[in-house]
Structure 1
């Protein structure tokens, strides 16, 4: 059950990440990293790895976007 919750958190974060890739909305990625982090915590509690890995990939994508944009843009 925790794996499904982690996957849902990751899916919501991924949908928001698409919006966060629009120029001048890079600040949204900070929120997305938090949402995916909560999903990753649920994934760590789960016996399976799919939800956790999905959340970690979304976090990495958003962190890369923040790094490219200088943390804000």
Structure 2
């Protein structure tokens, strides 16, 4: 679960960077739910993994959280259109 959430978070961050390009901001509408699913997978990974092996799941949770926050701020600044 940790590796899946980590890869999911990296993809969400790449998608977030793509959505920074003008006229591609609509991608945030799809990236935010995508990153939310990744955060849920990371939370499940944190629950069912031993404390020594939680680094990847924790990193995935952080990456997905950053993608969600930046996407919401970006949509708020652009009025939800760009």
Asked if 1 retains the 8 angstrom alpha-carbon contact of 2:31 and 2:71, the reply is yes
The correspondence of residues 52-71 of structure 1 with structure 2, limited to 5 A, is: 52-71=61-80
CA RMSD, 1 decimal: 1.1
Could you state the TM-score of these two structures normalised by the residue count of structure 2? Answer: 0.80
Unaligned 5+ runs, structure 2: 47-53
- Find the structure with the greater CA-based Rg: 2
Measure how far apart 1:50 and its partner are: 2.0
The alignment covers a number of residue pairs equal to: 72
Q: Which runs of 4+ in 1 moved over 3 A?
A: none
Structure 1 distance, partners of 2:9, 2:81, is 22
Give, in whole Å, the separation in 2 of the partners of 1:11 and 1:50.
10
> Where does 1:34-53 land on structure 2 (aligned, <5 Å)?
34-47=33-46, 48=54, 49-53=58-62
User: TM-score, normalised to structure 1's length?
Assistant: 0.89
